């Protein structure tokens, strides 16, 4: 992890810091030609051969040993068995997480609108939930029951009729906690299918799998590419890349060991994870690096951390109040602000997936229990997008009712615009009604 001194953030004529920060923002895995080709081939195969191809890919990539397509469905007995394998304390923790996620997202539910405007038109909109949603849960180097809850609960609150879950089953085994989380969400259809083939099956359907309206949930680079390639034929939440965290840590207010632990919690996700720390003291930055080296020795995923540290950096600035400028340039997925000036910094933040305020709001609290979904925009896409929410599972439908008297007041304006655009039929559909005026 490198330390970079940035002398002048506020100086608009000095853009060197943008080059320094930008170096670490380069996306090493973006649009790999091999990933694109392999993923497209899998999608085409699933579209053409359906269930038979699904069996082949499950057996090839996950060594499932399926003989027929019905075996990809998780049975009721498997779900019951999974529950028996889950410690009661973990069951309680997942249940508590469910309730907190549900409570938060219920407060997001929008209201239908219907009103009469000055011209006498009745205008408004109604919110309609999606019918079928497919949730993808990773099952590779780590599997996440929290992702099941964070993806499915907002859909439940929105009123989605049918939610199905897709997760890889290495050697025909699924993490029991994932199955338990799915049972908490009352998900009836759970498929032992992962990778790009799962995304293709959700997007286009097979004999055993119904096509869904939208696909949500994180995955590896092949899953992300598959979502990108099927978008338009089906809705998706986002194209998620490597995870990232930015920490604004004022040296007199933050604790080096805590900042280091928060950084490690993100770096252990994968070798392409990134952490950026913005602080106001060089010695404090050295303390953070020392703590990272010390604490990482205790962790099982230290090899992954060592690799992801190479893509991470600490930026030392003169005034911590200026940290928002760098953070907005990064547009982080997760942003921690640990400073006595958090209100000032927060006010100036315009780009972030989720913001965590204070010493006792580590990013990990958002991963599991706080309430907002932890599915967030990565790789700088927080510049124009938001994290998963109830709104991702709702459609807004406009309503327009124009009585005759109101039509008479405004139709001539519409006809003039239609004439200007050279759309005679549009103009006709308006003027033909003038015969009754």
**DSSP for 119-166?**
TS-EEEEEEEE-SEEEEE--BSSSB-HHHHHHHHHHHHHHT-SEEEEE
Average of per-residue pLDDT across 17-38:
76
Q: Would residue 8 count as lying in a domain? A: no
Residue 270 pLDDT: 85
Closest C-alpha to 110, from 394, 412, 400, 424: 394
Query: Which of 236, 270, 289 corresponds to the end of one domain?
Result: 236
Mean pLDDT of the chain, nearest integer: 93
Q: Which two tokens stand for residue 30?
A: 């973006």
Query: Which of 196, 215, 236 corresponds to the end of one domain?
Result: 236
Residue 284: CATH number of its domain: 3.40.50.1980
Return the residue matching tokens 């040296």.
251
Q: Based on the fold, state whether residues 271 and 148 are members of the same structural domain.
A: no
pLDDT tens figures, 274-314: 999 999 999 999 999 999 999 999 898 899 999 999 989 99
Q: Based on the fold, state whether residues 310 and 425 are members of the same structural domain.
A: no
pLDDT tens figures, 336-345: 999 999 999 9
Residue 32 pLDDT: 82
- Going from the C-alpha of 394 to that of each of 99, 130, 165, 210, 234, the distances in angstroms are 21, 6, 19, 20, 14
pLDDT at 69 over 90: yes
Residue 436 pLDDT: 60
Q: Would residue 22 count as lying in a domain? A: no
pLDDT tens figures, 238-274: 998 889 999 999 999 999 999 999 999 999 988 889 9
Q: What is the C-alpha separation between 311 and 27, in angstroms, rounded?
A: 10
Other Cβ atoms closer than 10 A to 181: 30
Top-confidence residue, 143 or 44: 44
Say which range, 2-16, 315-329, 358-372, 375-389, has the weakest mean pLDDT: 2-16
Q: What is the C-alpha separation between 90 and 96, in angstroms, rounded?
A: 10
In the chain, how many domains are there? Answer: 3
Q: Based on the fold, state whether residues 259 and 116 are members of the same structural domain.
A: no
Map residue 428 onto helix, strand or coil. helix
pLDDT tens figures, 193-228: 999 999 999 999 999 999 999 999 998 889 999 999
Q: Which domain holds residue 251?
A: 241-384
Residue 26 pLDDT: 73
Percent of the chain having pLDDT more than 90? 83
Percent of the chain having pLDDT more than 70? 96
Average of per-residue pLDDT across 58-78:
92
pLDDT at 318 over 70: yes
User: Own/partner pairs for 204-210, CB < 8 Å, 24+ apart?
Assistant: 204/43, 204/46, 204/47, 204/230, 204/233, 206/46, 206/50, 206/51, 206/54, 206/69, 207/50, 207/51, 207/69, 208/51, 208/69, 208/70, 208/72, 208/73, 209/51, 209/54, 209/164, 210/132, 210/162, 210/164
| Predicted confidence band of residue 183 (pLDDT cuts 50, 70, 90) | very high
Q: Would residue 332 count as lying in a domain? A: yes
Q: Based on the fold, state whether residues 188 and 259 are members of the same structural domain.
A: no
Q: What is the C-alpha separation between 153 and 184, in angstroms, rounded?
A: 9
Beta strand 113-116 with 2-5: parallel, antiparallel or unpaired? unpaired
- Asked if residue 216 lies in contact with residue 155, where contact means CB atoms within 8 angstroms, the answer is yes
What residues contact 71, with CB distance under 8 A and at least 6 apart? 64, 192
Q: Would residue 1 count as lying in a domain? A: no
Q: Based on the fold, state whether residues 66 and 205 are members of the same structural domain.
A: yes
Q: Based on the fold, state whether residues 160 and 229 are members of the same structural domain.
A: yes
Top-confidence residue, 94 or 33: 94
pLDDT at 102 over 90: yes
Q: Based on the fold, state whether residues 72 and 93 are members of the same structural domain.
A: yes
Q: What is the C-alpha separation between 311 and 347, in angstroms, rounded?
A: 28
pLDDT tens figures, 143-163: 789 999 999 999 999 999 999
By annotation, the residues acting in catalysis are 333-334
């Amino acid at each position: 992890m490198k330390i970079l001194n940035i002398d002048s953030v506020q100086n608009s004529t000095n853009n060197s810091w943008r080059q320094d920060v930008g170096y670490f923002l380069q996306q090493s895995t973006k649009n790999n030609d091999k990933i694109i080709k392999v993923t497209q081939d899998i999608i085409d195969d699933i579209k053409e051969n359906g269930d038979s191809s699904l069996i082949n890919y499950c057996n090839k990539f996950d060594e499932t040993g399926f003989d027929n397509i019905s075996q990809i469905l998780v049975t009721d007995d498997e779900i019951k068995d999974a529950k028996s394998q889950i410690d009661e304390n973990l069951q309680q923790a997942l249940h508590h997480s469910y309730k907190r996620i549900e409570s938060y997202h219920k407060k997001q539910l929008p209201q239908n609108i219907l009103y009469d405007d000055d011209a006498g038109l009745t205008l408004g909109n109604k919110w309609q939930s999606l019918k079928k949603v497919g949730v993808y849960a990773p099952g590779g180097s780590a599997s996440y029951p929290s992702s099941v809850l964070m993806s499915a609960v907002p859909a439940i609150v929105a009123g989605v009729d049918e939610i199905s879950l897709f997760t890889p089953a290495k050697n025909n085994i699924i993490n029991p906690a994932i199955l338990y989380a799915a049972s908490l969400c009352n998900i009836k259809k759970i498929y032992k299918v992962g990778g790009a083939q799962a995304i293709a099956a959700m997007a286009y359907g097979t004999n055993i799998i119904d096509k869904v309206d939208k696909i949500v949930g994180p995955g590896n680079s092949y899953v992300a590419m598959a979502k990108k390639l099927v978008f338009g034929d089906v809705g998706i939440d986002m194209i998620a890349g490597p995870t990232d965290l930015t920490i604004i840590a004022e040296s007199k207010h933050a604790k080096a060991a805590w900042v280091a632990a928060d950084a490690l919690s993100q770096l252990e996700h994968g070798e392409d994870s990134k952490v950026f720390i913005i602080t106001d003291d060089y010695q404090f930055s050295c303390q953070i690096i020392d703590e990272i080296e010390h604490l990482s020795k205790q962790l099982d995923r230290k090899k992954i951390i060592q690799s992801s540290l190479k893509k991470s950096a600490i930026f030392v600035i003169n005034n911590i109040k200026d940290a928002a400028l760098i953070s907005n340039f990064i547009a982080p997925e997760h942003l921690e602000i640990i400073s006595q000036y958090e209100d000032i910094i927060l006010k100036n933040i315009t780009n972030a997936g989720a913001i965590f305020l204070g010493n006792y709001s580590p990013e990990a609290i958002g991963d599991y229990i706080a309430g907002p979904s932890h599915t967030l925009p990565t790789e700088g896409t927080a510049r124009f997008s938001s994290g998963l929410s109830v709104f991702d599972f709702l459609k807004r439908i406009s309503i327009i009712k124009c009585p005759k008297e109101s039509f008479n007041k405004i139709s001539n304006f519409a006809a003039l615009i239609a004439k200007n655009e050279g759309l005679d039929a549009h103009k006709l559909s308006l003027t033909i009604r003038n015969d009754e005026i």
